[in-house]
Structure 1
């Protein structure tokens, strides 16, 4: 498919101009003459350079990748139909909606934007983190930087010792069971062509531990405990309450981490928020 450079440039510009700073959790500031968001603001939200976005809006530059288009769709708070339109304009086939797990809807994005000083993140059924607040990155590391099957926290749990190092050893067995149960539920809901199913098949080839747990066919939501312990590389163990909001249409979870006020863990989370601010 060929890129419709004129259509892509116009669509990106119009969607950018239609958003107010407060729509995406940014301060309006003074002396704002540009309608909507500035290019540098969208570029920051999408994790790309302002020059790259400028070239797209000026009908030039390289064809954006799937990953770049997904980032732009989230930054511009596009609906699912608008996201599909963006992909086609850029010369790509629209992502298959059967996976239901690759797009963060605008309503959920607005909630995340308003949690800017709280560790929060959106994950899909495959355990892939789609977006994090800055305090969440400070608490858990940047979980959006991975590619391929490594994007899944479930895959990393069974294959990467660094992932387990963020959890006290006494909690490892429980986390392994919980990750497996969550993935099993996602495969059932999203089907054999989903990314969750791809993760399960790949893990079955490399992790005997995963195979043993998968064979138990456990999908018990009781495994999803609300209190978790996280080992921070600088602050040590932090005990957090993990509140989960489910977005059923897309099969997404919003995870929000808080701590009991007045506790040592609450002080540590406050320190992380202050640093990231």
Structure 2
């Protein structure tokens, strides 16, 4: 199919997504009920100019990762997602690839958790979606690209995160991450992106390579974490990781015990968002 066919499909589906359905404010004057290009760009993690060029057929050969991100942002059904891949000249991902598709039912579930920090990761711990409260808690991921979006990479190679850990806790966490990624590699041995991620981690992190070669066993699961937030201070929260049956996605949910100072600070974080507090 042509780039113009891809662009027309993106424009058509953008027009039907109400901003409030995507967790965005619906205020202001709008010529249509759907998403603006800037809003779709924000949700998909790309530039508004690139969305414009895609819709006008001036940008060709989008990557599979970009098409997947657009499919999530546009909330496409399975057949629509497959159409978008084919319109981009790509084969829709098969069962040998790490799943990255969010069904409309999972999207609706996430929509109902607006007062809770929630993020969705694939089985390789690549971030697929983060709601605004998760972004406020852990740092805005909208500018992350490539391996930066992978939690294993960020913990072994990147800047880490805001979760407070003792040396013992960090060692146990690293071991669990490597073990979990090893299990994923066993389920998806033919996924080229996963192979590149593991090769890059082995090359860039001696700690990862050592744990990988040692055959670490275990999995990253629920825990209680203290997050050092630069504006509202430390928050001690329960972190639960839920697996979506049939899709191998992980939904990470942070909650605070009601009536505690942590619950109050989490509510304040919902007001502050990703903006810095000003004296």
- TM-score w.r.t. length of structure 1: 0.81
Q: Secondary structure at the match of 1:220?
A: coil
With over 3 angstroms needed to count, the CA separation of the structure-2 counterparts of 1:206 and 1:25, relative to structure 1, is closer
- Counting only pairs closer than 5 Å after superposition, residues 97-246 of structure 1 correspond to structure 2 as 97-143=95-141, 145-160=143-158, 162-163=159-160, 166-170=163-167, 171-193=169-191, 195-221=193-219, 224-246=221-243
Q: Report deviation, 1:270.
A: 1.3
| Structure 2: segments with no counterpart, 5+ residues | 275-279
Which sits farther off after the overlay, 69-78 or 29-38?
A: 29-38
Cα deviations by residue, 1:72-109 (Å, 9 ceiling, x for unpaired): 21111013432232132134444455223333232222
Q: Secondary structure at the match of 2:164?
A: coil
The aligned residue for residue 244 of structure 2 is: 247
Cα deviations by residue, 1:27-80 (Å, 9 ceiling, x for unpaired): 6669977355555543443345656545544x4432263244333211110134
The aligned residue for residue 267 of structure 1 is: 264
Q: Distance in 2 between matches of 1:40 and 1:147?
A: 18
RMSD of aligned Cα (Å): 3.1
Q: Report deviation, 1:219.
A: 3.6
The aligned residue for residue 58 of structure 2 is: 61
Contact 1:52/1:61 (CA < 8 Å) preserved in 2?
Answer: no
Which sits farther off after the overlay, 33-42 or 86-95?
A: 33-42
Q: Distance in 1 between matches of 2:52 and 2:243?
A: 36
Contact 1:17/1:36 (CA < 8 Å) preserved in 2?
Answer: yes
Q: Distance in 1 between matches of 2:228 and 2:213?
A: 30
1:256 maps onto 2:227 in alignment: no
With over 3 angstroms needed to count, the CA separation of the structure-2 counterparts of 1:225 and 1:55, relative to structure 1, is closer
- TM-score w.r.t. length of structure 2: 0.81
